[in-house]
Structure 1
Amino acid sequence: MPQLDLATLHEAIAAAIPDRECLVWRGGRMTWREVGERSRRLARVLHEHGLGRHGRATEPWESPHDHLALYLHNGPEYLEGLLGAHKARASAFNVNYRYVDGELAQLFTDARPTAILFHARFAATIGRVAKRLDAAPLLLQVADDSGEDLLPGALDYETALASVSPEPLDVRPDAGDLHILYTGGTTGLPKGVLWRIGDLMTGPLGMARRDGTPITDLEEAVERAVKGRHRVLIGPPLMHGTGTWSALGGWCGGGCVVFPGRVDGLDAADLLATAERERVTRMLMVGDAFARPVVEELDRGSYDLSTVRTLLNSAAGISPDVKRRLLDHLPDAHIHDVLGSSESGFAVTRRGPADRAFVPAPGTAVLSADRSRKLSPGEDELGWLAKGGLLPLGYLNDPVKTAATFIVLDGERLVVAGDRARLRADGTVEVHGREATTINTGGEKVFAEEVETVLRDLPGVADALVVGRPSERWGTEIVAVLRLDRDAAPTDDDLREGCAAHLARYKIPKAFLRTEQGLRLPNGKADYAAARAAVASE
């Protein structure tokens, strides 16, 4: 079945509603015509530096594209990068701007960026890491309020755009071109999930009719967009799939994307003031770490949010009490929880303040514990959440993980991303969380073994395990349980400083507990039960 691609759809919508607002940030307002023109200019810059698609991939874990790294805070340039790369038939990918040098070098070694689009505040980091790459990438630097000078060898983003024509390239993007979304996943190392643009649009970006059938006709899609009047406030960072997909999904429906003024962290007052001023209709949440500060600010201040109709929550849970308080302030709004992954899109959803089971999306199933069959409603077995239908091709450069995660069962291709689940008699799904030791803290995924490796290398630490414990602020916070060398006594500050040299800030444990008990099972494997018991006893 022919599918739409993002570049063609955006150009068609821009032709239909050229003067309607497309993007708003810090008082700057860009129309659909302006966003279309700027993304075409970026496409031309990339194309003139040789970026594009070269041949075809022969395996599902391969990419035929040149890759553009997006090392940016939220802002117009991020979305221009996604769209402009696609128009040049290159493929953009997200970069976690909290990574330190070693983490960033590992990511770039895997992704092999041909170009990097980055904010000036990250110039020093890019300068160091770029020297470690096999080939020198094109560097495009976006000016910001950091005052950093242009990195030697880099092009100023605005100057580069101004130097080229806004006319469309003689290149035709395709629904089979790739969208790459890097996720921390459950192996501890970032993995590039390879989505075909057409599958992404019909699936996670919501290009479907009310009955679930896909919209593949351009005229129908444009007609739908012309009627769309959503104004979508993107508070979470675009470096995560929740933010990116919500923004692009808003554009596919003809909506306007709005960013709060502050984009390097959550400022609840700024977020709500932006929502009021811009009359937004949809807001994103990322669990209690996001929702709790918002509801506390609503308790303190007075905001007219009468236009807000949807609070879309993803990546972490919001507690029922916080949901109820949100709806007390926003009685005309609905809360939608969506649970899925970079590999599945949105697998299950629920609506309302209650902490009830989820409703499966089309194509969702729960597999038996041995992944040999689909469970029937009411079978009392803790199985695996799986999803069929429109799925990614695989993981970039990783045939082993691709084969393990994307399976074929009774002739149907399914993704099993690692969530344990139970299928209830009424057809709803209880989700019990990831089997692996991934910790979700404030919407960020942290792999325990990565933090443990750093801790065990610090002076005085004989062994370490990392677990999560409930936190009002973060949903779950990271706690390290340590067994120290004899006569060693590193302080918490010593441990934090040691971690900070190797880990992004959000990965550093919030607390360090010492124990004289062993942290290993007889077979040498980690005894996480003992670590959790030590944390619970505190």
Structure 2
Amino acid sequence: MPSIFDQDLAPNEANYAALSPLSFIERTAEVYPDRLAVVHGGLRRSWAEVFTRCRQLAGALQRHGIGKGDTVAVMLPNTPPMVEAHFGIPVTGAVLNALNTRLDPETIAFMLDHGEAKVVIVDPEFAAVMKKALALRQSGAPLLVIDVEDAMYTGPVERIGSMLYDEFLASGDAGFAWRQPDDEWDAIALNYTSGTTGNPKGVVYHHRGAALNAVSNILEWDMPKHAVYLWTLPMFHCNGWCFPWTVAARAGVNVCLRRVEPQAIFDAIRQHGVTHYCGAPIVHGLLVNSPDSMKHGLPRGVKAMVAGAAPPASMIEGMEALGFDLTHVYGLTEVYGPATVCAAQDGWELLDIGERARLNARQGVRYHLERDVRVLDSQTLQPVPQDGETMGEIMFRGNIAMKGYLKNPKATDEAFAGGWFHSGDLAVMYPDGYIKIKDRSKDVIISGGENISSIEVEDVLYRHPDVLAAAVVAKPDERWGETPCAFVELKAGATATKEDIVVHCKKHLAGFKVPRAVVFGELPKTSTGKIQKFELRRLAGSAAAIDV
């Protein structure tokens, strides 16, 4: 029986609106229309100008028949069109599919087909790769290709589309009626992640989760109004960890960056007064290990966020020497990027560097607006003891979790079994409630922030005529965090060399997926013939045992 508080009290337009990050840019354009929004080389645009361009993009897409549930893919670096895509595409009801610009044509073709993209917007730097991908598509469905021009790009230009991006925008109505989704459960983005199979899985985000994670970013960082955010993190990674929407909510500045290079980063920080940036460990490592001549005149107190491998003591010391404040977060594509944070406690700053590194290496506690994160027994779903020793699986529950995997109900059901999202990461929980990863149950290698499926690499190795058996595991790497290490057992009489294997892999894989180390020999196996990967991981962890 309904309570007295439910009788005749129902949600209506006056007291209920669907949560969506699309409201952030609308408010900022109204309240701070003249504030700087985008910096790209010599280009400067205000929030009013960016909002107008987003409405033009929406209007142009609508004129071409794009509407609710359609997919619009983009192959863009961290440039102004990528910022605009995060608003102008979903406001039509369509779904943004930001493609990983580092992938090979075969994988991109799969994503375009699987996501049923109707439009793709392409930066000139990636035109050649996209041209190959388009030729490899299995779907015969029409696909509108739009070419972007960028004054900051100095390489060769090949037009593969039917029109230019700015021409496309000009065809759209600058007065396009901005609107929230009818339902906050509507899809806002599609992001592909490498699982333990060759084909990536399509992770579907909803408006509610995107809005809440964007706000959580603000809360975790105490991010002020008008923050100056440097785009070192690719926006194709979990929609830039939701920061395109976060920056809009704070009426901040998007400092765009085509390439992640130390000199360009330091110059941007000095020139634009950067206050915040994110990145994989390799990005922070590049800065720490840069020549001292690059580091003069840096402002103190820049907020840096790191995810991926835990920051070692040397990185923490290096960032402190730069005057940067480092925050360690953890998450997955399925939870919109970062969903836990190693929240610093009073007194940690007084500890020696070794103890600070130990504490900061933990994945921490849940984000503000994530309902719950626990280390649970994978079978019983009961919490493991908080003793820092008993291992279980990290599981998430709440609004900051994907809708599910596109066209893959089996994988979705498995991921959400028992009412929790199963991360596949094995961890312990300490008495203070902080989580620390100990191992991965999935055979995924995380290299420079990129996920690499070991099975995908193994499939390529098995296609070499000299290979009898192959296994790929992660090898620790100072620069990249991890890189693929291939253990190869050759057929009798075969003479393939490391160079032969690498050349073969380069023909079929994106560069970052190619094994950096190749070890020849008989693979350790169980009595049933299963390769013992735990033994190979032990060997890969010993630099002396690996041919690099």
TM-score above 0.5? yes
Give the one of 317, 335, 344 matched to 2:310. 317
User: Partners of 2:500 and 2:306 in 1: how far apart?
Assistant: 37
Match of 1:424 in 2: 430
Match of 2:163 in 1: 155
User: Partners of 1:204 and 1:188 in 2: how far apart?
Assistant: 31
Residue 45 of structure 2 aligns to a residue whose secondary structure is strand
C-alpha displacement of 1:359 = 2.8
Residue 115 of structure 1 aligns to a residue whose secondary structure is strand
Residue 462 of structure 1 aligns to a residue whose secondary structure is strand
C-alpha displacement of 1:239 = 1.4
User: Partners of 1:371 and 1:299 in 2: how far apart?
Assistant: 53
Match of 1:404 in 2: 414
Contact kept? 1:237, 1:243, Cα under 8 Å: yes
Give the letter aligned to residue 268 of structure 1.
P
Q: 1:307–1:27: structure 2 CA closer, same or farther, 3 Å change rule?
A: farther
Contact kept? 1:273, 1:303, Cα under 8 Å: no
Give the one of 445, 458, 461 matched to 1:452. 458
Q: Does 1:20 align with 2:30?
A: no
User: Partners of 1:246 and 1:424 in 2: how far apart?
Assistant: 30
C-alpha displacement of 1:276 = 1.0
Contact kept? 1:358, 1:428, Cα under 8 Å: yes
C-alpha displacement of 1:298 = 5.8
Q: Deviations over 1:29-82 (max 9, x none)?
A: 1110111111111111111111111xxxxxxxxxxx100111111111112112
**More deviation in 69-78 or 367-376?**
367-376
Q: 1:293–1:41: structure 2 CA closer, same or farther, 3 Å change rule?
A: same
Contact kept? 2:426, 2:439, Cα under 8 Å: yes
Match of 1:349 in 2: 341
User: Partners of 2:24 and 2:482 in 1: how far apart?
Assistant: 40
Contact kept? 1:7, 1:87, Cα under 8 Å: yes
Q: 1:427–1:149: structure 2 CA closer, same or farther, 3 Å change rule?
A: closer
User: Partners of 1:470 and 1:268 in 2: how far apart?
Assistant: 23
Give the letter aligned to residue 344 of structure 1.
V
User: Partners of 1:30 and 1:308 in 2: how far apart?
Assistant: 26
Matches within 5 A, 1:261-272: 262-263=258-259, 266-272=260-266
C-alpha displacement of 1:453 = 0.6
Q: Does 1:96 align with 2:100?
A: yes
Q: Does 1:189 align with 2:212?
A: no
| Ranges of 4+ aligned residues in structure 1 off by more than 4 Å | 207-210
Contact kept? 2:191, 2:202, Cα under 8 Å: yes
Q: Deviations over 1:364-411 (max 9, x none)?
A: 111113143233533852101111121221111110111111133xxx
Residues matched between the structures, number: 502
Give the one of 224, 227, 230 matched to 1:230. 227
Residue 280 of structure 1 aligns to a residue whose secondary structure is coil
C-alpha displacement of 1:93 = 1.1
In structure 1, stretches of 5+ residues that fail to align are 54-64, 213-223
User: Partners of 1:418 and 1:457 in 2: how far apart?
Assistant: 29
User: Partners of 2:94 and 2:445 in 1: how far apart?
Assistant: 33
RMSD: 2.4
Give the one of 267, 270, 278 matched to 2:272. 278
C-alpha displacement of 1:336 = 0.7
Contact kept? 1:468, 1:476, Cα under 8 Å: yes
Give the one of 403, 422, 426 matched to 1:393. 403
Contact kept? 2:365, 2:434, Cα under 8 Å: yes
Matches within 5 A, 1:498-537: 498-515=504-521, 517-535=522-540, 536=542, 537=545
Match of 1:339 in 2: 330
User: Partners of 2:86 and 2:278 in 1: how far apart?
Assistant: 20
Q: Does 1:360 align with 2:365?
A: yes
Match of 1:375 in 2: 384
Contact kept? 1:459, 1:490, Cα under 8 Å: no
User: Partners of 1:340 and 1:400 in 2: how far apart?
Assistant: 22
Give the letter aligned to residue 531 of structure 1.
L
Give the one of 80, 98, 102 matched to 1:76. 80
Residue 488 of structure 1 aligns to a residue whose secondary structure is coil
Match of 1:303 in 2: 296
Q: 1:134–1:244: structure 2 CA closer, same or farther, 3 Å change rule?
A: farther
Q: Does 1:259 align with 2:268?
A: no
**More deviation in 297-306 or 86-95?**
297-306
Contact kept? 2:21, 2:214, Cα under 8 Å: no
Contact kept? 2:203, 2:406, Cα under 8 Å: yes
C-alpha displacement of 1:118 = 0.9
Q: 1:380–1:291: structure 2 CA closer, same or farther, 3 Å change rule?
A: closer
Residue 386 of structure 1 aligns to a residue whose secondary structure is strand
Contact kept? 1:89, 1:173, Cα under 8 Å: yes
Match of 1:61 in 2: none
Matches within 5 A, 1:36-47: 36-47=51-62
User: Partners of 2:334 and 2:288 in 1: how far apart?
Assistant: 31
Q: Does 1:50 align with 2:65?
A: yes
Identical aligned residues as a percent: 25
Q: 1:249–1:450: structure 2 CA closer, same or farther, 3 Å change rule?
A: same
Contact kept? 1:25, 1:75, Cα under 8 Å: yes
Give the one of 315, 319, 332 matched to 1:326. 319
Contact kept? 1:193, 1:395, Cα under 8 Å: yes
User: Partners of 1:204 and 1:524 in 2: how far apart?
Assistant: 48
User: Partners of 1:148 and 1:7 in 2: how far apart?
Assistant: 33
Give the letter aligned to residue 341 of structure 2.
T
Residue 518 of structure 1 aligns to a residue whose secondary structure is coil
Match of 1:167 in 2: 175
Q: Does 1:477 align with 2:471?
A: no
User: Partners of 2:384 and 2:532 in 1: how far apart?
Assistant: 31
Q: Does 1:177 align with 2:180?
A: no
Contact kept? 1:233, 1:283, Cα under 8 Å: yes
In structure 2, stretches of 5+ residues that fail to align are 1-15, 350-355
Give the letter aligned to residue 384 of structure 2.
L
Residue 83 of structure 2 aligns to a residue whose secondary structure is helix
Match of 1:111 in 2: 115
User: Partners of 1:379 and 1:270 in 2: how far apart?
Assistant: 41
Give the letter aligned to residue 55 of structure 2.
R
Give the letter aligned to residue 252 of structure 1.
A
Contact kept? 2:197, 2:456, Cα under 8 Å: no
Q: Deviations over 1:77-116 (max 9, x none)?
A: 1121121111211110121112222211222222111111
Give the letter aligned to residue 167 of structure 1.
G
User: Partners of 1:372 and 1:149 in 2: how far apart?
Assistant: 54
Contact kept? 1:232, 1:247, Cα under 8 Å: no
C-alpha displacement of 1:247 = 3.0
User: Partners of 1:496 and 1:339 in 2: how far apart?
Assistant: 32
C-alpha displacement of 1:285 = 2.6
**More deviation in 87-96 or 428-437?**
428-437
User: Partners of 1:43 and 1:285 in 2: how far apart?
Assistant: 30
Contact kept? 1:456, 1:464, Cα under 8 Å: yes
Q: 1:7–1:348: structure 2 CA closer, same or farther, 3 Å change rule?
A: closer
Match of 1:58 in 2: none
User: Partners of 1:118 and 1:33 in 2: how far apart?
Assistant: 25
Give the letter aligned to residue 477 of structure 1.
T
Q: 1:506–1:369: structure 2 CA closer, same or farther, 3 Å change rule?
A: same
Residue 433 of structure 2 aligns to a residue whose secondary structure is coil
